[in-house]
Every structure is written in structure tokens, then in C-alpha cells.
Amino acid sequence: MSLLKPSFTLDEVVQSERIAKRMARAGLCSRRDAESWIRAGRVMVNDTLLETPAHIVGPDDKISVDNKPLPNPEATRLWRYYKPRGLVVSHRDEQNRETLFDRIKDRLPRVMSVGRLDLDSEGMILLTNDGGLARHLELPSTGWTRKYRVRIYGRVDEKQLEALKDGITIDGIHYGSLLARLDKQMTSNAWLTIAIKEGKNREIRRVMEYLGYSVSRLIRTSYGPFQLGNMEEDDVQEVKHAVLREQLGQTDKEDKKPAISVGRQKITSGKHNSVSGKSRDKNANNRRGKARRQAR
């Protein structure tokens, strides 16, 4: 069963788009880098040097970068990645800390993350080579739930957790419904399962701190239908294209074979046709044999 309305179409042929977006979809660079390259005089459209990123291109425009043809846009792909603690989810870090993209650069093409996990959090993060898909999956309107295993210090008041389902406002910031459940209470700490749909910056940590609990470990176990499962830290696994299509509410054309109705009989494959043909031939032979016997 699909979990999303098909408001995003995989590998859609775009009639017109900004030049920086086309370059990013080709997997050559980010949109920001594309704009810098254009200003540096490295990009041509239809043999004319481009001077500004504010330029719209169509499917038939010829684009070259450093006098080399722009590659065709890559097919949309999606990966699950188990982010370890201590990795920054950013393409650039002002403090020169190791980033997620430093860690995977030799294993994947140029990708971007679907949302983020903070430095001290771990668990599953989705990666894609399609910026449009990344933005689509981040929207709360998709209805995808993010689930977390959370360890906190202290003894839990389950009434406080129950009240979070109605949302909470902290320092002028409103956080939507959080579904929180106590899984295990120990002497000095406890494990919770928390499900959210918005995913504001450090949302779970801030809500727990507001309730008087300090978070000592936070693991994202799922993002929508995609589960962390038995993945280990730093594992990366690609989502099959057919699975991605299904979860987006789309189906490959070849997955469905059209049925042809003939009276009350429904024919769905050549194999069934041959079986039906044999039955018809057998019946015809029986009728001819009966006629010959009667003639005698």
C-alpha cells in the first residue's frame, strides 16, 4: 500500500527550470556551486556564455560547463544510512569537523540528506541525489512519521508524556503532536519511544529538557516506511526503485499487465490464451467425432 499521494513524480521530464537546478540534477554540483560557476564564466547555454544564474532552460537547450557537455540528469535514487554520533550533517562545517558527506564521498555519488540529525544523535537518515525528492519527503504534509528511541535521565511522569500528543509551545516555538511512550524505567534513567512528524531543530531534546529530563542518547529508528532494522553504524543501503515508487504512490508501468475481457472470460497472459485455445480445439474435435458417429 502506498503511503503518499503522488504529488512528486520520479524522473519526470521537466519542460523548463532554472539553470542551477538543471546542473544540480545532473549530479555535477550543488545549486549554490552552480551559481558560483555561472558567475565565474564557466557555463554556456546554446554556445552563449551565461552571465547570471537567473536563467531558465528547456529540455532542448545545450548546456556546457568548462567546454564539456552537461551530463543528462541522473535517475532519482534513495539510500538509507546509519549515521553515527559525532558526524555533522552538512556539506560544509565552519569548525572543520568530519561531516556525513566526508564519510560517504567514496561510496555514493553526490547526494543530499532528507532533513538532518544533530551532532550527538544517531540512526537512520535518508540520502538522495534528487533535491526535489528531498524537499518533498521533508514536508510534514507527506504524513511520514519519524520514530526515535530516546534514553533520558530521571524517573518519568507518564502523564507528562501523554499530554505531548496535543503539542507544546516552548519559548514562543510551537511543536506539533509528539506521541511518547515509556518503554522501560530503570533506577536512574528510562527508555522512551517518540514519534513526530515535523522534526524542528533539536525538537525532542528541547521538549524533554522543558519537561525536566536530560537526553543521553537519541536514535532515529525509522523515517516514514523506511526502517533502521539491523543496520549497523556507517552502513548504507540503497532503496530499490520499485519500492520507492510504491511508497510515493506510483507504480512502474511494467508491473501491471492489462487484462482483456472476452465475454465473461478474462485473459491476462499468453499462457492462459494457449490453454483456452486447447480447450476450444478439444471441444471442436468432440463435436466432429459425434457428428461422424451419428452419420454412420
Average pLDDT over residues 150-164: 96
Cβ proximity of 228 and 220 under 8 Å: yes
Q: Which of 15-19, 54-58, 237-241, 259-263 has the lowest mean pLDDT?
A: 259-263
Q: Does one domain contain both 26 and 141?
A: no
- Pick the catalytic residue from 61, 93, 118, 234: 118
**Residue 6: inside a domain:** no
User: Could you tell me if residue 7 is inside a domain?
Assistant: no
In a domain, 1, yes or no: no
> Based on the structure, what is the number of domains in the chain?
3
Q: Are residues 65 and 83 in the same domain?
A: no
Same domain? For 124 and 241 the reply is: yes
Least trusted range by pLDDT, from 59-63, 197-201, 205-209, 264-268: 264-268
Beta bridge partners of 88: 99
Range of the domain at 264: 260-295
Phi–psi pair at 92, nearest 5 degrees: -140, 140
Cell numbers given for 49:
556564455
Classify residue 12: in a domain, yes or no.
no
Q: What integer best gives the mean pLDDT of the chain?
A: 83
pLDDT band at 52 (very low <50, low <70, confident <90, very high): very high
* Residue 149 included in any domain: yes
| 243 plus 101 within the same structural domain | yes
Same domain for 116 and 216?
yes
pLDDT band at 167 (very low <50, low <70, confident <90, very high): very high
Q: What is the CATH number of the domain that holds 203?
A: 3.30.2350.10
Q: Is residue 10 part of a domain?
A: no
Cα–Cα dist 95/113, whole Å? 20
* Shared domain check, 134 and 158: yes
Q: What string of H, E and C letters represents the secondary structure of the chain?
A: CCCCCCCCCCCCCCCCEEHHHHHHHCCCCCHHHHHHHHHCCCEEECCEECCCCCCEECCCCCEEECCEECCCCCCCCEEEEEECCCCECCCCCCCCCCEHHHHHCCCCCCCEECCCCCCCCEEEEEEECCHHHHHHHHCHHHCCCEEEEEEEECCCCHHHHHHHHHCEEECCEEECCCEEEEEEECCCEEEEEEEECCCCCCHHHHHHHHCCCEEEEEEEEEECCEECCCCCCCCEEECCHHHHHHHCCCCCHHHCCCCEEECCEEECCHHHHHHHHHHHHHHHHHHHHHHHHHHC
Identify whether residues 187 and 289 lie together within a single domain. Answer: no
pLDDT at 38 over 80: yes
pLDDT band at 275 (very low <50, low <70, confident <90, very high): very low
Residue 213 has pLDDT above 90, yes or no: yes
- Rounded CA-CA distance 87/99 in Å is 5
Rounded mean pLDDT, 155-162? 95
pLDDT category at 26 given cuts 50, 70, 90 is confident
Structure confidence at residue 281 as a pLDDT band (50, 70, 90): low
Average pLDDT estimate for 224-251: 92
Q: Are residues 142 and 278 in the same domain?
A: no
Residue 153 falls within a domain, yes or no? yes
pLDDT at 255: 46
| Model pLDDT, residue 252 | 57
Tell me, letter by letter, the H, E, C secondary structure of 266-292. Answer: EECCHHHHHHHHHHHHHHHHHHHHHHH
Residues 48 and 132 in one domain: no
252 in a structural domain: no
**Which residues neighbour 274 within 8 Å (Cβ) at sequence distance 6 or greater?**
none
pTM score of the predicted model: 0.74
Residue where a domain terminates, one of 207, 222, 247? 247
Q: What is the CATH number of the domain that holds 33?
A: 3.10.290.10
Is 281 annotated as catalytic? no
Lowest-pLDDT range, 36-40, 43-47, 110-114, 214-218? 110-114
Phi, psi of 83, rounded to the nearest 5 degrees: -75, 125
Tell whether the model's pLDDT for residue 174 goes beyond 70. yes
**Residues 115 and 173 reside in one and the same domain:** yes
Check whether residue 101 and residue 220 sit in a common domain.
yes
Same domain as 131, residue 151: yes
